[in-house]
Amino acid sequence: MPISDQSICMCALETSAGPWLLLAGSREADFEPLRKLFETLSQSPATVLLELQPYISASGQISLELCSQTDPPSKDRFSLSQLKTKLQDYSMARLHWIDETAGSYQWSGTPKEWEERALLLEPLIRKQTPGHIYLTDSAADVADIVVSRGEYPDLINA
């Protein structure tokens, strides 16, 4: 059943570049609620299930938990060994599996990272021309998160 023209379809794909979590919308899709969610995560710690948002239509068995973390600890408060231990949490992948069998991912970030992700969506909001943006680091994460406007009609209309 096709999703509405305003909805964003969330699906997992295996591509020649590796695994993707794709957030795809038609040219008419409204990406502003997604940008606002990222902005909210930049302002206060929270955990949100993306597939439960009214503007998201999840395709298949997929769950994406968005998690806002606190900023990395200040270097002034800890000894070098304590700091290394604490910073390890911030050098790990930002997108990882919660349960691979169930298709559950967690995507985390600091307030600054969520603010940057919100800004990256601006071109898709301002222009209604086809295009896409990568929001993760494929070298560190279990998949790339790609936000796309008007590029995958076969997935959007499936």
Instruction: Express as a percent the part of the chain with pLDDT over 70.
Output: 82
Pairing of strands 18-25, 104-109: unpaired
pLDDT of residue 137: 74
Q: Is the pLDDT of residue 80 over 70?
A: no
Strand partners, 132: 148
How far apart, in whole angstroms, are the C-alpha atoms of residue 147 and residue 52? Answer: 17
Phi, psi of 43 (to 5 degrees): -100, -20
Average of per-residue pLDDT across 119-131:
92
Pick the more confident residue, 29 or 72: 29
What pLDDT is attached to residue 2?
Answer: 43
Strand partners, 135: none
Q: How confident is the model at residue 85, as a pLDDT? A: 46
